[in-house]
Structures are given as structure tokens and as C-alpha cells.
Copies of this chain bind each other. A is one copy, B any other.
Amino acid sequence: MIFRQLFDSESSTYTYLLGDESTGQAVLIDAVMEQVDRDLQLVRELDLTLTHVFDTHVHADHVTASGVLRTRTRCTVVGGVGGAACADVQVRHGDHLRIGALDFQVLATPGHTDDSVSYFLGDRVFTGDALLVRGNGRTDFQNGDASQLYDSVTRVLFGLPDTTLVYPAHDYKGRTVTSIAEEKRHNPRVAGKSREEFIRIMEHLDLPKPKKLDVAVPANRACGLTASSPSSSPHH
């Protein structure tokens, strides 16, 4: 398997490229609009064909590249049910997505947003904003729900093997990966915390509104292609 973690410094977003060497098929997870050229160049240089883009949820902090990538490569756009209506495939808990020999299992992990899903692949899981390194996504918009997120983290994700590597959608301190075992022990909001304590923490974060919220959410519901976008031509 080819695996590459990529970072967008403006939004502190991690994008992941996974390629199956036997078929040459590849998927990008949580691709960022501004990085389309970088990412497609890497796909080409690795002799891969982009067949899928997965979003973990409708993002509020950056515009997804999924629509532009679909226009440019004819790839299939995948998102969680209830998320972006423009997605070609809307997945539910327990669904499988096969990219050549790579078999991703979809885990519903709502709470940051109602459409949040994680993609589990053998020894690693791509958690979006449901579980971050020593943190988790906020729960105060897009139908966020702290109680639901507590279940997503402690029941769904912490039910994975301890050694599972956790690749998040963001980090703001230069950390690139964590593991289920690490977060069980060291996540300051969840480790040893009851549901009530977690809800109280989430209710008192007092975070400013994301700068891009009003632009990013409507754009991302349309796979990043808004009426004003130069790349908004209809896809295949």
C-alpha cells in the first residue's frame, strides 16, 4: 500500500492519499481545494489513478476539493449520509468501500457534525474531527451533539484495537498521528471522564466561530463547487 499524509498549513488540515499498488487505484481523504494541484501531481508521480475521494464530514474550516477532483479525474465522491447531497455515494455505519485491494470499513462517528464518519483500514483509522490528537472537534454547530460524540469516541473508536493508528483531519501543534491506546489514556477530555464531564467540557469551550464557516459549509454541501467557483462546471 502507498500511504502519504499531506498538510495544508493555512487550515491545518491533513489530507491522506492511499494507493493500492496492485491495481494502481487511489483515494484521497479530506482533500483541500487549495491543494488540488499538489495532490494530483503526487498521484501522477506515484503512477496512481484517483478513483475516489472520501470526506469524513461537511467541513467548516476549509473548502473540500472533492467536486474539483471529480471534474478533473472523474473520481467517485464519498461522504456520510446526511452530509453533502452532491456525493456520489452516501455511506452508513458498516458499509465497505473497496479501492483495489484496500477494504475500508465505514464507522458512523457523529457528534462533531451529524454526518461525521470515520474510515477504518486494518491498522489505521481516519477519524476526521471526531477524534483528534489529545482532542476532538467542537460540537456547537452543524447539529453537533456532545453526548453523541462521547459515544462515537468511547464506544465506536475506542472499540478498535489499541494499536490502531489514528489519523485525524487536523492538528495545530505539529503532531501527525496518535493511537487508540494513547487517546484512551491521555485524551484530556475523554480519558477517565464521564459523559457528563465531557458534555460540560464541550459546553464551556467558548470558541470563536470558525472564520470560514459561512463560506465553507454551503460550499462543501455542494462538494466545494459554488455558483461563483470557476470549476463549477457540471460533472459527468
Taking beta carbons and an 8 Å cutoff, which residues of A are in contact with B?
A: 4-9, 35, 38, 42, 45-46, 173-177, 182, 185-186
List the B residue with the shortest CB-CB distance to A172: B9
Is there contact, CB below 8 Å, between A173 and B46? no
Q: How many Å lie between the Cα of A38 and that of B8 in the bound state?
A: 21
Q: How far is the CA of A4 from the CA of B174 in the complex (A)?
A: 11
Which residues in B have their C-beta under 8 angstroms from that of A4? 175-177
Please tell me if the beta carbons of B45 and A6 are within 8 angstroms of each other in the complex: no
Partner of A9, one of B5, B38, B174, B185: B174
For A45, list chain B residues within 8 Å (CB): 182, 185-186
Give 26 A-B contacts (CB < 8 Å), ordered by A residue.
Answer: A4-B175, A4-B176, A4-B177, A5-B5, A5-B176, A5-B177, A6-B174, A6-B175, A6-B176, A7-B7, A7-B174, A7-B175, A7-B176, A8-B174, A9-B9, A9-B174, A35-B174, A38-B173, A38-B174, A38-B175, A42-B175, A45-B182, A45-B185, A45-B186, A46-B182, A176-B176
User: What chain B residues lie within 8 Å of A35 (beta carbons)?
Assistant: 174
In Å, the complex CA distance between A5 and B174 comes to 8
A145 to B153, CA, bound (A): 52
Shortest distance between the CB of A13 and any CB in chain B (Å): 9
Complexed CA–CA distance, A177 and B176 (Å): 12
Kindly list chain B residues whose C-beta atoms are within 8 Å of the C-beta of A186.
Answer: 45
